[in-house]
Structure 1
Amino acid sequence: MDFFGAQERARRLTAWLVLLLIVAVIGMVVAAVAVVALAMVLLDGGQSAADPLAQALDPLLLGSVALGVLLVVGSGSLVRHLQLRAGGSAVAEALGGRPINGDTRNADERRLLNVVEEMAIAAGLPVPAVYLLDEPGINAFAAGHTPQDAVIGVTRGAIQTLARDELQGVIAHEFSHVLHGDMRLNMRLIALLYGILVIGLVGRMLLRGMATRRVVRGSRRGNGHAVLLGAGLALMLVGFVGTLCGNLIKAAVSRQREFLADASAVQYTRNPAGLADALKRVAAQGSELRATRAEEFSHLYFSRGLPGLRGLTATHPPLPTRIRRLEPEWDGSLPEPHAMRETIAAAGSGDERAQLRPPQATAQDAGTLMPTTATLVHRIGEPREQDMEQARGALAGIDPVLLEAAHESYAARAVIYGILMGAEPVSRARQREVLIEAALPDVLAELERLDQPLAGVQPGQRLALIELCLPLLRQLSVAQYARFRDCLERLMAAEDEPGALQWALHRLVVVGSEGATHHRGSRQSLVRIEDAVARLLSSLALAGNDEQARAAEAFREAADTLGLSMTLLPQPATLQELDWALARCRQLSDDERIRLIGAMASCVSHDGRVCPREAELLRAVAWSLDCPLPLSAMD
């Protein structure tokens, strides 16, 4: 599936969603007006000389009812939007999920983390936080506004029942939602539809309150009681209309996206049998969730999370239909349901990567042939089976001490500091002094312990280590993160000449921890931000070439790719200049960003080859431009 095309389709669906919401609200207003008009006629009972129907249709009364409905829907949506600002973690916690610690010794949890980490690194995405739902059903979801605040939630039933290739198919399905904009669309859907549901919830609360008062106060009756009872019934009726509309909207938006996510998962893993077998397990053992708020998030799940949603209100296609799309010859048989395994404590780290053979260093050092620019651009946001294999091998090649450190809070911060410290002894000594002044003692102790393993980090491994650390960085408290961010800024300021790669990795840490600042307003063209493009491409050319003449050739090739008349800026850019250039380039439209990524690829591969440092730099900058490059994109 085309990455940018999928993003654009998700944006169009958002526009349709708003239109459908308006239609639903109009339906609720009509229902509310009809209820009020009927109540006015019945309560009058012919006692008034005035025409009761005329009173019921009084424009002032009807306008007040319509305004009341709009205020309830709008305020409900706003409240839910504010509650979901934290991203996917808010959804996972609402469903009763708990984050899985990176240093878990549970074998099933460790296997799940391995699969999620491999998928993220293969796709060029930040590693999301992983939440475990203590549910027996087989289900999963992806939630968040951006890849930076995304989480993957998986039920205990899934990790204790599914084989590794089946679990990998489920996770690949969820990553498709992250890559293709479905996740952001689903979060907006939650907030918008909650306002519709609020009216029904208010009516239900009124009815429950009246029932409680009747039990407590016995036979005490009065007009107030009747009015409140009627109001509760009226709101329940209007809420029913809203709930029906909400379910229809969720179903219309969700079903087709599930088919596309299944297709993308097969593209990523090249293993349709894994996903098909996972769906068969779901059909045999169930996927329903027991959480109180499961209905609110029903369109997020891998499979149907609630009983009863069928036909037009079904948020997911029928399981047999999904299975036959993956396995046309399926005869309808299902595996025997089996009990979930007991919780198993893993021996040692519980990491299955120890059995994998790391890639040969000599092949990395020599560099790889660069594919054509058109091929590379086509691979944006489209991981494949070879990316998964490369990610697995790359992680197996990292020192196990560092892998373990990336999953522990203090040690993860030490890993980041070590990666971002300069190579020159004088700069490193100055940076250590800065950290002694500003960093926590426990982090400094970890940095000292990891000194030798960090010195052995190979080109191409830094990006993966940073991605592994990101989930823990996002879990830091406000005070902890403020200190961490201060240390990052001091580290970069103490470096004599921070290179483009060091800057790009620093930006990756910041954006991966805090999220990107999205530009609001009209999209820019390359011509209008030519100065920023020249600064960024000049930095890439100078980073990959020691000789000025060769850097000029690389820059000229990139400029020709864009059709722009630009001149190489001979001096390396400062960190502030690069931050400014990147912020400007993030304002580009999708088509223009595609062209820019192509020019960047031409710049780093003007000699026909790309070394691991250049590949790492290109992937880090593309990552910051919301253009995730899979690992094998530069093979």
Structure 2
Amino acid sequence: MDFFTAQDHARRKTGQLVVLLIAAVIALIAVTTVVIAIVIHFMRDDRGSVTADSLLAALSPELVAVVALGVVAFVSIGGLFKRSQLRRGGGKVVAEALGGREINPNTENANERRILNVVEEMAIASGMPVPSVYLLQETGINAFAAGFDTSDAVIGITQGAINHLSREELQGVVAHEFSHILHGDMRLISVLHGVLLIGLLGYILLRSTTSRGRSVRRNNQNNKGAVVVLALGVALAVIGYAGTFFGNWIKAAVSRQREYLADASAVQYTRNPNGIGQALIKIGSHAQGARIEASQASEYSHLFFGQGMKLGFTRLLATHPPIRQRITRVLPHWNGEFNASFSAPAVSDVANAGDQSAVGFADIPSAHSSAATMTGASAQAAIASMGQPGPRHLANAKATLDALPARIRRASQDPYAVRALMYALLLSQHIEVRKQQLASLQQVALPDVYREVMSHAGEVLMLRDPLRLPLMELALPALKNLSVDQATHFRQCMVELINADSQVSLFEWTLYHWLVHHMGLGKKDSGPAVRKLSDLQPECQLLLNVLARAGQSDPDKVNAALDAAEKELPFALSAKSEVPDIKSLGPAVSRLRRLRPQQKPAVLQAMARCIEHSGLIKPAEAELFRVIADMLECPMPPLLIEG
């Protein structure tokens, strides 16, 4: 399943989820109405006996209307609250609710450093910003991905997982979680929260009312109030359990197939079924399994890598397929023993020898050599690999991280030095302009940060172009840890650097808007993704005009690039000779984010045609191409050298 089909499938699944949610709400209204009618009967009848006539007498259209309004309001408010909470706080809201703590990007703990390296490699390979990683002090072997989109996603990992899993196995688990992020599975939380909230409220009120009921009975055995209180407790229990049942049933109905898809994607990403397969085998052999003990684990059970909650008398509510079925799907020749060491051949060993996606690490040409060139095939391969990076992308990510100077890589994880690195990336290669920028920065930057700029500027200015975007991706977790005041000041300093020469270069726009987008410093477009490409013709034209001028200045070549792009669009590009206003590009991209998933491939293909028309793709073109794709919520793997 390609990226756009998967995204559209996730959107349709959300639609199916809403249908199931409506059915659950109707059932809850029926249950609640009957229960309240019974409680009303007990309050009216001293004998406490329930007959069909007395129950029908308690039921009325007014009661049904009031209950329906109350349940719908409660479910809607609960869902909207969770959606708002996720949009404001991102995946860290979930991670912290489960008791997780963020792993410091510059940790020296070997196990923590290992999982961070795995996550960094997978993020750079898939073309998405590096997510923060949270550690749960749980002995079970488990992990999760949470967030509203790629900008605020986090990866959670248990202590049991990093203690017991090898690097290869961690890579399989992390690849599985990245599949959930890239395929849009994380957004199901907010839709379910309203129904689950009923169960949670019922549980809380049940405890308080039953406690009160026992107290009343001790004081007066014949007190009618005791009967009413206990009846209310039972009512709340029934409603609460019904809410919990329906919520868990819906989660199970939509989650199991997504787990199979994520398992298959993990194998595709790594070309190594042993990684995820052995991780599942270790879960099966581990005393604690994948169990999560956190108090709110049931609410987020569908996010976990393994079945985090103990199953009751039925598998109807299981959010994950049986572990044996998952293992046999990725390791068909598994011997069925959880305590046995089983190894399957890597996919690359059994794949067609001519399959380029199975190229080994040592066979990949360096993406950073001076002779390296990217062609049109590079752009098309990157589009085809969206949401499903392969071993070449993982190898490229590892090579990229190794190519970054160790001192710069360490600085990208320090809260002071990371800001200095971003400032240094904005420094001009022209000495006079750079002097103006540094003089302006010295007036506004923190003294410690400015000293870091002067310390790292020379090394950053010498960075080759293909390393700039990976450095930005690597720096993001540390930048997200800035306080609101620090982040605001960081943004002001970037603006000072950009405006020092009264011009905005293409890279300045790229770095600034990418960071503002992923750090949540700008206003998020909260509109639904329902727009058609024909509705956004001016925005598309502006984007392509900017991109065409990124690779050449000759008017004829610019027009040739736009002519090539036009062939992928359902409309003609007019006013090709106009010089675009780059400051208008930000709002245009924001509006293009609202395109339907199946409308976005045309934009990406037009962008690809625009940068590949000359036969070669320059690093600046590839950089802008990938950044725009990422801002359109289409994270694209690095463009590799084809041939």
The question of a shared fold, defined as TM-score above 0.5 by the shorter chain, is answered with yes
CA distance, structure 1, for counterparts of residue 5 and residue 523 of structure 2:
21
Q: Tell me the C-alpha RMSD between the 2 structures.
A: 2.8
What per-residue deviation string (whole Å, max 9, x for no partner) do you get for residues 95-139 of structure 1? Answer: 110000010000110010000011011101011110000111100
Moved more, 538-547 or 153-162: 538-547
1:543 deviation in Å?
1.5
Partner of 2:36: 36
Query: Is the CA contact (8 Å cut-off) linking 2:170 and 2:279 kept in structure 1?
Result: yes
Which amino acid in structure 2 is aligned with residue 251 of structure 1?
A
Which amino acid in structure 2 is aligned with residue 14 of structure 1?
T
CA distance, structure 2, for counterparts of residue 221 and residue 236 of structure 1:
23
SS in 2 for 1:152: strand
Moved more, 448-457 or 191-200: 191-200
CA distance, structure 1, for counterparts of residue 426 and residue 435 of structure 2:
13
Which amino acid in structure 2 is aligned with residue 455 of structure 1?
L
1:254 aligns with 2:259: no
Of 307, 313, 333, 2:337 maps to 333
1:361 deviation in Å?
7.0
CA distance, structure 2, for counterparts of residue 376 and residue 577 of structure 1:
27
Query: Is the CA contact (8 Å cut-off) linking 1:420 and 1:506 kept in structure 2?
Result: no
Inter-CA distance 455–232: structure 2 relative to 1 (3 Å threshold)? same
Query: Is the CA contact (8 Å cut-off) linking 1:356 and 1:393 kept in structure 2?
Result: no
Partner of 2:184: 181
1:200 aligns with 2:207: no
Query: Is the CA contact (8 Å cut-off) linking 2:202 and 2:240 kept in structure 1?
Result: yes
SS in 2 for 1:116: helix
Moved more, 495-504 or 277-286: 495-504
Query: Is the CA contact (8 Å cut-off) linking 1:95 and 1:133 kept in structure 2?
Result: yes
1:55 deviation in Å?
3.0
CA distance, structure 1, for counterparts of residue 153 and residue 552 of structure 2:
37
1:543 aligns with 2:550: yes
1:253 deviation in Å?
1.1
Query: Is the CA contact (8 Å cut-off) linking 1:92 and 1:98 kept in structure 2?
Result: yes
The TM-score with structure 2 as length reference comes to 0.89
1:550 deviation in Å?
2.4
Which amino acid in structure 1 is aligned with residue 506 of structure 2?
A
1:156 aligns with 2:162: no
Partner of 2:320: 316
1:51 deviation in Å?
6.2
Which amino acid in structure 2 is aligned with residue 623 of structure 1?
D
Partner of 2:461: 455
Of 475, 484, 496, 2:481 maps to 475
Query: Is the CA contact (8 Å cut-off) linking 1:202 and 1:232 kept in structure 2?
Result: no
Partner of 2:409: 403
CA distance, structure 2, for counterparts of residue 483 and residue 63 of structure 1:
53
1:246 deviation in Å?
1.3
1:165 aligns with 2:168: yes
Which amino acid in structure 1 is aligned with residue 146 of structure 2?
A
CA distance, structure 2, for counterparts of residue 170 and residue 476 of structure 1:
29
Which amino acid in structure 2 is aligned with residue 100 of structure 1?
I
Query: Is the CA contact (8 Å cut-off) linking 1:140 and 1:170 kept in structure 2?
Result: yes
Which amino acid in structure 2 is aligned with residue 201 of structure 1?
Y
- Aligned length in residues: 615
Partner of 1:558: 565
Query: Is the CA contact (8 Å cut-off) linking 1:359 and 1:394 kept in structure 2?
Result: no
Inter-CA distance 69–190: structure 2 relative to 1 (3 Å threshold)? closer
Moved more, 53-62 or 599-608: 53-62
What per-residue deviation string (whole Å, max 9, x for no partner) do you get for residues 312-348 of structure 1? Answer: 11110001000000111111112379xxxxxxxxxxx
Partner of 2:351: none
What per-residue deviation string (whole Å, max 9, x for no partner) do you get for residues 464-511 of structure 1? Answer: 011111112222211111111112222222244433233122211111
1:235 aligns with 2:236: yes
CA distance, structure 2, for counterparts of residue 78 and residue 526 of structure 1:
29
1:490 aligns with 2:496: yes
What per-residue deviation string (whole Å, max 9, x for no partner) do you get for residues 523-563 of structure 1? Answer: 44444433332222222222211433322322222223336
Which amino acid in structure 1 is aligned with residue 258 of structure 2?
R
CA distance, structure 1, for counterparts of residue 326 and residue 284 of structure 2:
11
Partner of 2:126: 123
Of 561, 577, 580, 1:573 maps to 580
Partner of 1:507: 513
Which amino acid in structure 1 is aligned with residue 426 of structure 2?
L
The TM-score with structure 1 as length reference comes to 0.90
Which amino acid in structure 1 is aligned with residue 167 of structure 2?
R
Partner of 2:387: 381
SS in 2 for 1:588: coil
Partner of 2:350: none
Which amino acid in structure 2 is aligned with residue 549 of structure 1?
D
Which amino acid in structure 2 is aligned with residue 24 of structure 1?
A
CA distance, structure 2, for counterparts of residue 245 and residue 466 of structure 1:
43
CA distance, structure 1, for counterparts of residue 47 and residue 630 of structure 2:
71
In structure 1, runs of 5+ residues without a counterpart are 338-354
Partner of 1:103: 106
1:521 deviation in Å?
5.7
CA distance, structure 1, for counterparts of residue 366 and residue 184 of structure 2:
36
In structure 2, runs of 5+ residues without a counterpart are 342-360
Which amino acid in structure 2 is aligned with residue 326 of structure 1?
V
1:613 deviation in Å?
2.6
Partner of 1:534: 541
Partner of 1:25: 25
Partner of 2:305: 302
Which amino acid in structure 1 is aligned with residue 291 of structure 2?
E
Inter-CA distance 433–72: structure 2 relative to 1 (3 Å threshold)? same
